[in-house]
Amino acid sequence: MKRFRFDRKTHLLAGAVALAAVVGGPPAKAADEVTHDRLLNADKETGNWLLHHKNFSAHRFSGLKDINRDTVKNLKVAWTMHLGGVEGGGIWTHGGLEGTPIVENGFMYVTDGWGSVYKIDTHGGRGVLMWKMDPKTDHDWAGAVACCGVDNRGVALWGNLVISHTLDGRLIATNKENGQVAWQRKVADPDKGEVVTGAPLVVKNMAITGVAGAEYGIRGWIAATDLSTQKEVWRTHTIPAKGEPGHETWKDDKNAAAAGGGSTWVTGSYDPATNTIIWGVGNPGPDWDNEYRPGDNLYTDSSLALDADTGKIKWHYQHTPNDPYDYDSVAENVLVDVPGPNGPLKLALEADRNGFAYAIDRTTGKFIWGLPFVKKVTWTKGLDAESGKPVEYDPNKQVQRYNAAVTPHRENKVADICPGNMGGKNWPPTAYNPELKLWYIPVIESCNRITVEESKQDKLKAREFWTGGGPSQPFRITGSVAAVDVTTGKLAGKMETPFPMLGGMLATPDLVFTGQPSGQVMALDAKTLEKRWEFNTGGGVSAPPISFAVDGKQYIAILVGLGGAWDKWFIDATPELKNIQPGSMLYVFAL
């Protein structure tokens, strides 16, 4: 942990700091403590960005509108800040940035890939680093079992604490004022192949943690830690144990469920009306050899609804039973209410790796509508209108083949699938405009080639890949932004991009912001998706933008620094991106 102080000898700077202290207002006091009530009403604090997904419904919608369709052409860099965490570790040559900044009353909290937390004072039209908390993440230990890059997607706020995760499995509470670690607790175990990349979700007095590691034979879970007592409140495994409902969907004789995957590495959402946490569950393991794990493999590739106080599963909806493609459902669920034939429909929206966007009734878990949001889907002919299951799905079959001609399996070891295994949409978050009722999806338009390798029990080893094959990239991959009208469940627009969308979305009343891994940050018209503004950051954008206000002025902020797995595993599909260098930088824009 480092705390930076100003060198008094630097007179000019010291003067500027003194001025900033006046302009910036008083230091945080009790009124700045983050409570459950404030988080419930996060949207009312228009200038702040208090929750990972902006509100509990995961809308990522900022009501700020000084930067709008007419003014956005004047948007310019206000200030930047170089961050750290670029170094490699384990199997990775560098860390990257995938985080969502959190902003409270002009103070911003961001993380780098190795989990260092930075507090930045944004008052006065520039950024000043207040402190950096370096958790000294074990690079070798964690980096060797991080399937998909050295990443950390940000912090949460609770009381006077900043709550964060580390790749090596810790939940850390840092004093907001001085950057000192108040306490930390081990929640995940890299010895089992478990790492943590997601931002915590704070609900009431609990921090909810998800885990990654389905490529390393973990049995996934979602865990709640009481932030007052630092004790675990509940831990719900995403693969049911023997005797629990759902265990019968693992029909093998090899105890595949014990290493069945079901990661939970994207921050979920929360519905206070029913006290329900809705969280996405990842792929089964081994990823591509579904014959190893006959049965539907619950609750992999599902959206799960949990009682917030107990972690008890209320309902589930599975998208790709017995998945042979690595089409996980780890994505965030976006909670929206729309008019229905018999009163308002309470929906949970999820844009799945399998290329379909789903609306589920979030009170019952029943399918409402689904649509493909990618240009090309080959693995299924479509979704059943009633159940939402792929039309080829046969509940009486233990091993699903879907469109058998293109599905990789032991007798068809090399197969080309669309979407590719990175999915139609990966972790980068969607955004929802509640005024236009449009939902914006950052899309990867892709196919890739899967080569299946038959999994054998003796290959299952702690901290070793457990994938049953692997992908290669013979096809060019591009991207798009898709807008879905959630009142109809129909595609309302699409804007093609030269590269896949690896960063995520921000919605404002009449704009949508996003970025490309080739460096561009852009603003699109919220209705037409026409590009209204663009700036080339010169680095790989793999994080979502946010908007905040300080001193009465609106800003757009985004972390820029080649994160994730693309440059290691998928770069052949986008050869131009080989030129993008690792980096670690915060960009802040203003009019």
Partner 1 sequence: MNFFSRSFRTGTFVMNLVAVSLVTSGVAQGQSAATPDPTDPGKAVFKRANCMGCHKWHGNGGGGYGGDALSLRKTELAREQIVETVGCGRPATGMPFFLRGAYDPVKCYDMLRQDVANNIPPEGATFLRQNDIEAVADYVLAHIKGKGEPTYDDCISFFSADSRVCSIYKAEPTASPDGAGKGQ
Catalytic residues, which ones?
A: 326
* Alpha helices (H) along 227-337: none
Residues 13-32 contacting partner 1, CB under 8 A = 13
Residues 238-257 contacting partner 1, CB under 8 A = 254-255
412 forms part of the interface with partner 1 (CB under 8 A): no
Which residue in 302, 467, 508, 547 binds partner 1 (CB under 8 A)? 467
Q: Burial letters for 150-169: b for 16+ Cβ neighbours within 10 Å, e otherwise?
A: bbbbbbbbbbbbbbbbbbbb
Identity (one letter) of the amino acid at 104?
A: E
To partner 1, the closest distance from the beta carbon of 212 in angstroms equals 12
345 forms part of the interface with partner 1 (CB under 8 A): no
4 forms part of the interface with partner 1 (CB under 8 A): yes
258 forms part of the interface with partner 1 (CB under 8 A): yes
103 forms part of the interface with partner 1 (CB under 8 A): no
Residues 543-572 contacting partner 1, CB under 8 A = 565, 568-569
Q: How many residues bind partner 1 (CB under 8 A)?
A: 61
The Cα–Cα gap between 390 and 572 comes to 30
Residues 144-163 contacting partner 1, CB under 8 A = 144, 147-148
To partner 1, the closest distance from the beta carbon of 388 in angstroms equals 29
Dihedral sign from CA coordinates of 311, 314, 317, 321: positive
190 forms part of the interface with partner 1 (CB under 8 A): yes
To partner 1, the closest distance from the beta carbon of 178 in angstroms equals 7
135 forms part of the interface with partner 1 (CB under 8 A): yes
Quickly count: other Cβ atoms within 10 Å of residue 34's Cβ: 23
To partner 1, the closest distance from the beta carbon of 26 in angstroms equals 23
For partner 1, which is the closer residue by CB, 169 or 515? 169
Whether the Cβ atoms of residue 471 and residue 455 lie closer than 8 Å to each other = no
For partner 1, which is the closer residue by CB, 136 or 376? 136
**Stretch of 97-105, 133-141, 265-273, 307-315 lying at the interface with partner 1 (CB under 8 A):** 133-141
Q: What is the 3-state secondary structure (H, E, C) of 410-472?
A: CCECEEEECCCCCCCCCCCCCEEECCCCEEEEEEEECCEEEEECCCCHHHCCCCCCCCCEEEE
The Cα–Cα gap between 583 and 564 comes to 12
469 forms part of the interface with partner 1 (CB under 8 A): yes
136 forms part of the interface with partner 1 (CB under 8 A): yes
Contacts of 136 (CB under 8 A, 6+ apart): none
Whether the Cβ atoms of residue 347 and residue 366 lie closer than 8 Å to each other = no
408 forms part of the interface with partner 1 (CB under 8 A): no
Q: Is 337 exposed, middle or buried (0-12, 13-18, 19+ CB in 10 A)?
A: middle
Which residue in 74, 310, 364, 457 binds partner 1 (CB under 8 A)? 457
91 forms part of the interface with partner 1 (CB under 8 A): yes
* Alpha helices (H) along 169-305: none
Phi, psi (degrees; rounded to nearest 5) at 554: -85, 140
328 forms part of the interface with partner 1 (CB under 8 A): no
463 forms part of the interface with partner 1 (CB under 8 A): yes
Whether the Cβ atoms of residue 422 and residue 148 lie closer than 8 Å to each other = no
Which residue in 200, 210, 442, 471 binds partner 1 (CB under 8 A)? 471
Whether the Cβ atoms of residue 71 and residue 17 lie closer than 8 Å to each other = no
The Cα–Cα gap between 333 and 339 comes to 19
176 forms part of the interface with partner 1 (CB under 8 A): no
Which residue in 161, 162, 218, 557 binds partner 1 (CB under 8 A)? 218
Residues near partner 1, by CB under 8 A: 1-7, 9-10, 13, 88, 90-93, 129, 135-136, 138, 140-141, 144, 147-148, 178, 180-181, 183-184, 190-194, 215, 217-219, 254-255, 258-259, 451, 453, 457-458, 460-465, 467-472, 565, 568-569
